[in-house]
Amino acid sequence: MKEFNVTIDRTVRQLRTITIKADTEEMAYRAAEDIARKNDEEWNGKEYDTKYKIEIKEVQNNYIDRFGNPYDSENPVTCWPAGGGLHKDCEYNADALYAYYVVKDRYKIADYLLSKGFKETLHGADEEIWQKGNTEVTYECYDTETHLWGYMHTEAIER
C-alpha cells in the first residue's frame, strides 16, 4: 500500500490536503473525488459547487523493515521493528537491530552501543535516544518485567 498526499481545491477556495493510502494513484484519485463531493462537517457544512481540482503526489517512503523491505505500519509482516521502521539512509541500522533483537536487555544494549561509539542523547524511564554518525536510534516503551524495549526506530540526522 502506498501513501498519497492529496490536495482538494474546491471552487469556494477551501483547500484541504490529506493523506490517502491506496494501491494506485487512480484509486487515490477516486477516494479524493468521494471526499470532494461530500457536504458535511469536514467542509464546514456549507453547500459547495461540484467543481473541484485534485492534485496527487505519492509520498516517498524512506523507511524499511528489518529485512530491507519498504516499511508499512499497517502490514504485520513489514512493520518490524515496530515503532516506525528504519530510515534507509542511516549508516548504523545494523547496530540498532542487533541491539534490539539480539542483545535485548536495556543495560546490555547501553553497554553494546557505547562500545560501538554511540552517544546517549536522552535517557528516560520509558525512552532512550542514541546517536552515531548520521543515525539516531530511539528505543521506547520499556517493559520492566521482561526487561525489553517495546519499540525501536531510526531517523537520519542531517549534518
What would the pLDDT profile of 117-139 be if each residue is shown by its tens digit? 999 998 888 899 999 999 999 99
* Same domain membership, residue 124 and residue 151: yes
* Same domain membership, residue 144 and residue 77: yes
Over residues 25-31, mean pLDDT: 83
The boundaries of the domain holding residue 124 are 63-156
Over residues 9-26, mean pLDDT: 71
Domain-ending residue, one of 58, 85, 102: 58
* Same domain membership, residue 144 and residue 93: yes
* Same domain membership, residue 123 and residue 79: yes
Quote the pTM value. Answer: 0.68
* Same domain membership, residue 71 and residue 111: yes
pLDDT of 29 reads 81
* Same domain membership, residue 32 and residue 75: no
* Same domain membership, residue 152 and residue 77: yes
Question: How many beta carbons lie within 10 A of that of residue 105, not counting itself?
Answer: 14
* Same domain membership, residue 147 and residue 84: yes
* Same domain membership, residue 84 and residue 36: no
- The length of the chain, given as a count of residues: 159
Contacts of 47 (CB under 8 A, 6+ apart): 39
> Which of 3-7, 87-91, 102-106 shows the lowest mean pLDDT across its residues?
3-7
Question: What is the number of structural domains in the chain?
Answer: 2
Chain position carrying cell 532512550: 128
* Same domain membership, residue 82 and residue 49: no
Q: What are the angstrom distances between the C-alpha of 21 and each of 17, 61, 138?
A: 13, 12, 26
